[in-house]
């Protein structure tokens, strides 16, 4: 089946609409997206001999992709850090009735005194062995595996130049993404990096003066302080894009997995990131994949994740 630029741009209309309402309550985004039912494309590939312009338009890239069941037999093992800790600090879970908060305050003290940032010193990773992890993934039958490069919490798991809040400079003081990249690739598996950091824009209560998330000294971790429902700033989006490009350049992932939150990212930034990833893959003569949720990307530029 052939797809024209017009077809793809029309199909992507719901994505653009979602971007416009950006920080609106998620149900509104879901309602807008639900109006467009689409055929789920199993997978696609980038042909190594394609000649791309330096910065192709988003739809033009999509037109030139060939459908292929590249990862049909693959099983993804995504490694995630302890989420129960930062859930205590997420908006909506700050009420005292939640068991997570009760446990936090009984164990570490009042949330107003011991914030999420204070866990970093306890995150030492002294028993972390990337070779052991990679061996476990391989024995489980995984064809591809990798870490969450950055979750909603704003803490990067590699040595990034875009923030001091990263695992190479704090906590374990190790480049977790880099170490896993070497170990996983050494065993012949495809390397995955997962990105959730678009949600850092709204994840923490940055306007609640009771908590350290409202302190501008920690905005690099908790996200910029802004009014509710404000659109992401250019500075935030530049950093969002820069981190992904940095990982592409330094760790050469085979699969980029995007979580919810891309509806907050302006279409231009998504276009540039995907074009960069696909073109870099063509230069390296390798196949790559992007996954996404809901209707956050135009159809045929990646795999729809039904997680």
Give the CATH number for residue 65.
3.20.20.80
What is the percent of the chain with per-residue pLDDT over 70, rounded to a whole number? Answer: 68
Write the burial class of residue 171 (CB in 10 Å: 0-12 exposed, 13-18 middle, 19+ buried).
Answer: buried
pLDDT confidence of 97, banded at 50, 70, 90? low
Q: Is 146 left (phi over 0), alpha (psi -120 to 50) or beta?
A: left
Residue found under tokens 């803490």: 155
Q: In the Cβ-directed half-sphere of 214, how many Cα atoms lie within 13 Å?
A: 11
Number of structural domains (the chain) is: 1
- DSSP-assigned states of every residue in 194-233: EE-GGGGGTSS-TT-TTSGGG-GGGHHHH-----TTPPPP
Q: What mean pLDDT do residues 219-225 have?
A: 97
Q: pLDDT at position 102, please?
A: 84
What is the percent of the chain with per-residue pLDDT over 90, rounded to a whole number? Answer: 63
Q: pLDDT at position 88, please?
A: 62
* Residue 297 structure tokens: 């990307």
Q: What mean pLDDT do residues 146-157 have?
A: 97
* Residue 193 structure tokens: 């990096």
Question: Mind listing the pLDDT tens digit for each residue in 156-173?
Answer: 999 999 999 999 999 999
Query: Within a domain: residue 46?
Result: yes
Whether the Cβ atoms of residue 211 and residue 89 lie closer than 8 Å to each other = yes
Q: pLDDT at position 25, please?
A: 40
Q: Which domain holds residue 150?
A: 5-81+126-305
Q: pLDDT at position 294, please?
A: 92
pLDDT confidence of 94, banded at 50, 70, 90? low
| 271: helix, strand or coil | helix
Cβ contacts of 181 within 8 Å, gap of 6 or more: 146, 191, 251, 252, 253
pTM, 2 dp: 0.74
β-sheet bridge partners, residue 101: none
Higher pLDDT, 149 or 83: 149
**Alpha helices (H) in the chain, listed in sequence order:** 5-11, 13-21, 26-34, 58-63, 83-87, 99-107, 130-139, 176-186, 219-222, 234-251, 267-284
Q: pLDDT at position 103, please?
A: 86
Instruction: Using the predicted structure, report yes or no on whether residue 115 has a pLDDT greater than 50.
Output: yes
Question: Mind listing the pLDDT tens digit for each residue in 27-83?
Answer: 443 444 344 333 333 333 333 333 334 444 444 333 333 322 223 223 333 444 444
Rounded to whole angstroms, how far apart are CA atoms 206 and 304? 31
Query: Within a domain: residue 86?
Result: no
Return mean pLDDT, the chain: 78
Query: Within a domain: residue 89?
Result: no
Query: Within a domain: residue 174?
Result: yes
Query: Within a domain: residue 110?
Result: no
Residue found under tokens 């908590």: 211
Q: pLDDT at position 99, please?
A: 80
> Rounded to the nearest 5°, which phi and psi values hold at 123?
-90, 80
Q: pLDDT at position 306, please?
A: 87
Question: Mind listing the pLDDT tens digit for each residue in 274-304?
Answer: 999 999 999 999 999 999 999 999 998 999 9
Highest mean pLDDT among 2-16, 40-54, 104-118: 104-118
Query: Within a domain: residue 134?
Result: yes
Cβ contacts of 81 within 8 Å, gap of 6 or more: 123, 148, 151
Query: Within a domain: residue 48?
Result: yes
Query: Within a domain: residue 93?
Result: no
């Amino acid at each position: 089946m052939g797809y024209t630029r017009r077809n793809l741009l029309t199909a992507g209309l719901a994505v653009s609409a979602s971007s416009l309402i950006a920080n609106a309550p998620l149900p509104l985004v879901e309602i807008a997206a639900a109006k467009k039912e689409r055929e789920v494309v199993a997978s696609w590939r980038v042909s190594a001999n394609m000649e791309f312009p330096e910065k192709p338009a988003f739809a033009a890239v999509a037109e030139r992709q060939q459908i292929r069941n590249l990862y049909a037999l693959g099983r993804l093992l995504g490694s995630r850090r302890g989420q129960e800790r930062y859930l205590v600090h997420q908006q909506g879970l700050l009420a005292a009735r939640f068991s997570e908060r009760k446990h936090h305050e009984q164990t570490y003290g009042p949330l107003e005194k011991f914030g999420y940032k204070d866990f970093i010193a306890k995150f030492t990773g002294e028993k972390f062995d990337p070779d052991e992890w990679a061996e476990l993934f391989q024995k489980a039958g995984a064809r591809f595996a990798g870490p969450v490069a950055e979750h909603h919490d704003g803490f990067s798991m590699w040595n990034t130049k875009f923030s001091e809040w990263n695992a190479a400079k704090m906590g374990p003081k190790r480049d977790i993404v880099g170490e896993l990249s070497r170990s996983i690739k050494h065993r012949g598996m495809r390397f995955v990096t997962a990105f959730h950091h678009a949600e850092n824009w709204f994840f923490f209560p940055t306007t609640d003066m009771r908590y350290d998330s409202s302190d501008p000294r920690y905005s690099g971790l908790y996200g910029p302080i802004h009014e509710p429902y404000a659109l992401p700033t250019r500075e935030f989006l530049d950093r969002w894009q820069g981190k992904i490009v940095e990982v592409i350049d330094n760790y050469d992932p085979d699969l980029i997995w995007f979580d919810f939150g891309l509806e907050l990212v302006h279409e231009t930034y998504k276009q540039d990131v995907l074009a960069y990833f696909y073109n870099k893959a063509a230069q390296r003569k390798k196949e790559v994949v992007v996954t996404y949720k809901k209707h956050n990307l135009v159809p045929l530029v990646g795999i729809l994740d039904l997680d």
